[in-house]
Amino acid sequence: KQEVTQIPAALSVPEGENLVLNCSFTDSAIYNLQWFRQDPGKGLTSLLLIQSSQREQTSGRLNASLDKSSGRSTLYIAASQPGDSATYLCAVPEGNTNAGKSTFGDGTTLTVKP
């Protein structure tokens, strides 16, 4: 059974810092990994999807990397801003099945201080 862990559970940084969020998974036979952002009281918004054949995926100030063999993904946020404050979750779907159920990490809650 896939298990997904995100460390740390919470992170507080001053504005402008570059930071890395971590996601670990136990079963390396994955097809893809998805990073989400959740603002308080809101739903999950997809940030980046990285396929198993990719090493990196970028969107603006965000960069996600994937190392299947070590069971790790990182989300790098450059030049953090107070608007980046949110909870970030990673999810690993069961690929190539008829349902695509996902296992989620518990998330890292990021606070960026002005």
Partner 1 sequence: NAGVTQTPKFQVLKTGQSMTLQCAQDMNHNSMYWYRQDPGMGLRLIYYSASEGTTDKGEVPNGYNVSRLNKREFSLRLESAAPSQTSVYFCASSYLYSGAGYYEQYFGPGTRLTVT
Where does this chain bind partner 1 (CB under 8 A)? Answer: 31-32, 34, 36, 41-46, 49, 51-53, 89, 91, 93-96, 98-102, 104-107
Closer residue to partner 1 (CB): 34 or 80? 34
Give me the residue label for tokens 């994937």: 66
Closer residue to partner 1 (CB): 82 or 95? 95
Closer residue to partner 1 (CB): 93 or 112? 93
Own/partner contacts of 65-74, CB < 8 Å, gap of 24 or more, are: 66/33, 68/28, 68/30, 69/28, 70/28, 71/24, 71/25, 71/26, 71/27, 71/28, 72/22, 72/23, 72/24, 72/25, 73/22, 73/23, 73/24, 73/25, 73/33, 73/35, 74/20, 74/21, 74/22, 74/23
Question: Smallest gap, in angstroms, from Cβ of residue 16 to partner 1?
Answer: 30
Question: Smallest gap, in angstroms, from Cβ of residue 93 to partner 1?
Answer: 4
Question: Smallest gap, in angstroms, from Cβ of residue 18 to partner 1?
Answer: 27
Closer residue to partner 1 (CB): 38 or 74? 38
Q: Which two tokens stand for residue 32?
A: 């893809």
Question: Smallest gap, in angstroms, from Cβ of residue 44 to partner 1?
Answer: 4
